[in-house]
């Protein structure tokens, strides 16, 4: 019996050693010369493979950069210091980054939410959304199970009172949460300006219905549109802000105050 153990150990070790040698030899023979520049570029990228640049991984982006096939300002996740290093490495001038962040277009937290049924299924937004829209009465609003929290590679989202709260310092606008949200209520906005307004509602129901469903829903009254000279526009029973014209809105406080359901919020 003891003998079997010894023999099997030895023979497996021998086999392992044999193949390891073979592999080591093959590695020497079949080594692919890679541009060391790629490694250097990769070092200056965050390495979290968020995909915001349009490539599937940081490595692929680095390869494209090395071949000068991609613009050097695509990475949204890297910090200023890293961006400067990368620009220096590539020998291009640094373009200033407009700070962007994810914004949640729903303002109904747990205290406001109305329910239509009891949902006891799997506790993810996607599952709830696919099960007749979960327990939330509104077909458009945030379900609050936090699929976006799971998706965020930076830990920048927390659920506060049933609504995702986005930490704008941590958010790099990689848009993973935008994709993860089954109700598509998260979007990426430019948040450089401290006075950025956005519509915290995604309901495309008619105004009368929205009023019944939610107390902070957009009822498409069009007051914001009139006040700002069409910097806001109402489409499909939902108001949205034109980001290009944000700085042109002079009466931001008035817009905030006049919105009847207070669904326009300031970042």
Binding site for other proteins (CB under 8 A): 4, 7-8, 11-12, 14-16, 19-20, 22-23, 26-27, 30-32
Which of 229, 232, 173, 172 lies closest to 198 in space, CA to CA? Answer: 232
Least distance between other proteins and beta carbon 157 (Å): 28
Q: Give whichever of 11 and 79 is closer to other proteins, judged by the CB atom.
A: 11
Close Cβ partners of 216 (under 8 Å, ≥ 6 residues apart): 107, 108, 112, 200, 201, 261, 262, 263
Which residue's CB is nearer to other proteins, number 5 or number 118?
5
Shortest Å distance, C-beta 164 to other proteins: 29
- If the CB atoms of residues 30 and 208 are measured against other proteins, the closer one turns out to be 30
Given the complex with other proteins, which of 59 and 190 has the nearer CB atom?
59
Does the CA dihedral 219-114-176-171 come out positive or negative? positive
Q: Name the residue nearer to other proteins (CB basis): 12 or 98.
A: 12
Please, what is the minimum distance in Å from the beta carbon of residue 47 to other proteins? Answer: 19
Least separation in angstroms between residue 21's CB and other proteins is 10
As a whole number of angstroms, the distance between CA 24 and CA 18 comes to 10
Q: How far apart are CA 94 and CA 66, in angstroms?
A: 17
Whether 163 and 106 have beta carbons less than 8 Å apart is answered as yes
Q: What is the dihedral of CA 149, 153, 157, 158, to 10 degrees?
A: 60
Of the two residues 20 and 98, which places its CB atom closer to other proteins in the complex?
A: 20
CA-closest candidate to residue 38, choices 81, 82, 68: 68
Instruction: Round to whole Å and give the CA distance between 166 and 62.
Output: 29
């Amino acid at each position: 019996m003891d003998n079997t153990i010894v023999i099997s150990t030895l023979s497996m070790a021998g086999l392992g050693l044999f193949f390891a040698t073979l592999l080591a030899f093959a590695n020497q023979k079949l080594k692919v010369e890679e541009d060391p520049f790629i490694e250097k570029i990769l070092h200056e990228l965050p390495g979290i493979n968020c995909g915001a640049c349009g490539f599937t991984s940081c490595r692929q982006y680095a390869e494209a950069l090395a071949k000068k096939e991609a613009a050097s300002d695509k990475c949204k996740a890297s910090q200023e210091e890293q961006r400067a290093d990368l620009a220096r490495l590539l020998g291009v001038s640094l373009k200033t980054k407009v700070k962007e962040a994810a914004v949640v277009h729903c303002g109904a937290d747990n205290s406001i939410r109305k329910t239509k049924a009891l949902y006891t299924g799997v506790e993810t937004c996607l599952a709830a959304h696919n099960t007749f829209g979960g327990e939330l009465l509104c077909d458009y609003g945030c379900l609050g199970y936090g699929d976006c929290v799971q998706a965020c590679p930076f830990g920048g989202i927390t659920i506060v009172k049933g609504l995702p709260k986005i930490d704008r310092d941590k958010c790099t606008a990689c848009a993973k949460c935008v994709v993860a949200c089954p109700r598509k209520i998260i979007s990426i906005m430019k948040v450089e300006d401290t006075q950025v307004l956005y519509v915290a509602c995604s309901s495309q129901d008619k105004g009368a219905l929205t009023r019944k469903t939610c107390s902070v829903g957009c009822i498409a009254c069009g007051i914001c549109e009139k006040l700002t000279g069409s910097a806001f526009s109402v489409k499909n029973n939902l108001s949205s802000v034109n980001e290009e014209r944000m700085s042109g809105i002079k009466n931001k406080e008035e817009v905030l105050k006049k919105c009847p359901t207070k669904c326009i919020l300031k970042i």
